Amino acid sequence: MATDDTVVIAASLASLRTPKVETFDTRALQQLDSAHFLHPFTDHAALRDKGARVIVRGQGVYLWDSDGHQIIDGMSGLWCVNAGYGRTSISEAVYRQMETLPFYNSFFNTTNVPAVRLAAELVALAPPQFSHVFFTGSGSEANDTVVRMVRRYWDILGQPERQVIISRRNAYHGSTMAGASLGGMPGMHAQGGLPIPGIRHIGQPNYLEAGQGMSENAFGLVAAGWLEEEILAVGPDKVAAFIGEPVQGAGGVVIPPATYWPEVQRICDKYDILLIADEVICGFGRLGTWFGCELMGFKPDLISFAKGVTSGYVPLGGVLIGKRVAHALLEKGGDFNHGFTYSGHPVACAAALENLRILVDERLVEKVALDTGPHLKAAFNELATHPLVGHAESCGMVAGLNLVRVKGASMHECVPFERALQVGMLCRGHMFELGVIMRAVGDRMIVAPPLVMTRAEIDEMAARIWDCLDLTLEDVRSRGWL
């Protein structure tokens, strides 16, 4: 019977895979999109005139739009398609799980096979201090869970006055009430009455912005020191936790100096404060280690994850729980009154299991560390010789470069463009036209390519970026901004 099922499944999957010659009426889709689809983080008045680009297909590191243009995806969708597009084994795992058990909850003393297996697999891949996993549907829900979990932890320990969570300006921790509050994006705080009470923000370890006149390592200690200052200002007995991304993603690929995280760890230990790594981007190989905290040299008590855990094929997030917190919650806490309908969703967990198998079997994390990560660094160092680029930096499979008006001998001696000119957006426009996706954060252009991107594909991406830089330089000259 199992054999029959397998045959039927294989046959129906084959029919799904038969390439269809499908054509699209782009203008009609754009009009429907504009009429009914409210997009995240989008100025719809501006989008209406241009029309959204309709993405219809993906394979490997490439996407195609509804007009048949091929695009090299330098952003892994949105920092998530680590295993690349078109992974049939993930779609098959999802299909099989949907046929077997599309859903069951894990609230009422029940569990399901993919969730159990995935929890065990994640704990095996995580640093040794982790023993448990709480599943959510997204990174934002993971960080909401973190807020409730750390406050609950201190309740259980008889210190309920420990409520304050310290985060950083320009951090991104999601878009729910707690996620956006933990995040340090002023534009988000300006809408909806945020942040929620008990969240404080300190400066980010951005050497370019705040490290002038110091060595990088000296600056790392200074930036970590802002945490101690804030702890003392709030009162150490009121601080519950510190949260940060090992490398800030949406804030513009801010790579901290090597001294930063070990000093943050020392300060958290000194005041007995929980340390939380938001690994939604850095987790699952992005930096050439399974988790970013391993590269940055610290040992968090909790890790929030999402994105790369399923390579984005199906939504899934969660919180890895270290033994310190797990012990309190499981042994002393009774009910933790928190959970989502889709916590441990069997289909999402099946997708994650197959995605992790791919990362392990294809040795993608090691590849990033030893092969493609260094190659991306070399490619960005080459891009840094372009007259429009002040400096470039990278870490594993994330990289950024700064567009400047005047190049200097060091990054602090470069002269930036006036922000209002939006040179980054100008550059991003060319990227779109020339078929490479790169993101603009102010005048910093960033990439986070799929971990499967080969050396040859990195070279192709870099060549397209160089051409876009040339076009941007022409624009800037013709407008008299140089």
Ligand X SMILES: *Cc1c(COP(=O)(O)O)cnc(C)c1O
Task: Provide the 8-state DSSP code for 238.
Answer: G
Give the per-residue SS3 of 113-166. HHHHHHHHHHHHHCCCCEEEEEEECCHHHHHHHHHHHHHHHHHHCCCCCCCEEE
Q: Candidates 89-97, 108-116, 242-250, 294-302 — which segment interacts with ligand X by CB under 6 A?
A: 242-250
Q: What's the chain's length in residues?
A: 482
Which of residues 240, 250, 276, 403 is near ligand X by CB under 6 A? Answer: 250
Q: Candidates 11-19, 170-178, 413-421, 430-438 — which segment interacts with ligand X by CB under 6 A?
A: 170-178
Residues in contact with ligand X, total (CB under 6 A)?
Answer: 17
Which of residues 281, 389, 401, 436 is near ligand X by CB under 6 A? Answer: 281
Cβ–Cβ contacts within 10 Å for residue 314, how many? 21
Residue 208's identity, in one-letter code, is: L
Instruction: Decide if residue 411 touches ligand X (CB under 6 A).
Output: no
Which of residues 73, 230, 263, 278 is near ligand X by CB under 6 A? Answer: 278
Instruction: Decide if residue 140 touches ligand X (CB under 6 A).
Output: yes
Distance from C-alpha of 44 to C-alpha of 227, rounded to nearest angstrom: 39
Crossing angle for the helix pair 423-434 and 455-478, nearest 10 degrees?
Answer: 130
Query: Residue 10 burial (CB < 10 Å; 0-12/13-18/19+)?
Result: exposed
Which of residues 114, 127, 246, 249 is near ligand X by CB under 6 A? Answer: 249
Q: How far is the CB of 2 from ligand X (least distance, A)?
A: 36
Provide the mask over 5-44, with x wherever binding to ligand X is found by CB under 6 A and - wherever it is not: ----------------------------------------
Instruction: Decide if residue 146 touches ligand X (CB under 6 A).
Output: no
CB contact at 8 A, 244 and 146: no
Report residue 444: phi and psi, to 5°: -100, 125
Q: How far is the CB of 437 from ligand X (least distance, A)?
A: 16
Q: How far is the CB of 133 from ligand X (least distance, A)?
A: 16
Q: How far is the CB of 242 from ligand X (least distance, A)?
A: 15
Q: Candidates 85-93, 139-147, 206-214, 283-291 — which segment interacts with ligand X by CB under 6 A?
A: 139-147
Report residue 164: phi and psi, to 5°: -80, 130
Instruction: Mark out the alpha helices in 183-215 (DSSP H runs).
Output: 186-189, 207-210
Provide the mask over 303-342, with x wherever binding to ligand X is found by CB under 6 A and - wherever it is not: ---xx---------x-------------------------
Instruction: Decide if residue 417 touches ligand X (CB under 6 A).
Output: no
CB contact at 8 A, 449 and 461: yes
Distance from C-alpha of 26 to C-alpha of 15, rounded to nearest angstrom: 26
Q: Prior bond to 128 cis, omega within 30?
A: no
Closest residue to ligand X: CB criterion: 139
Distance from C-alpha of 356 to C-alpha of 358, rounded to nearest angstrom: 5
Q: Which is nearer to ligand X, 138 or 343 (CB)?
A: 138
**Residues of this chain, 50-109, that bind ligand X according to CB under 6 A:** 79
Instruction: Decide if residue 259 touches ligand X (CB under 6 A).
Output: no
| 62: alpha, beta or left? (left if phi > 0; alpha if psi -120 to 50) | beta
Instruction: Decide if residue 239 touches ligand X (CB under 6 A).
Output: no
Which residues of the shown chain bind ligand X in the complex (CB under 6 A)? 79, 138-140, 143, 172-174, 245, 249-250, 278, 280-281, 306-307, 317
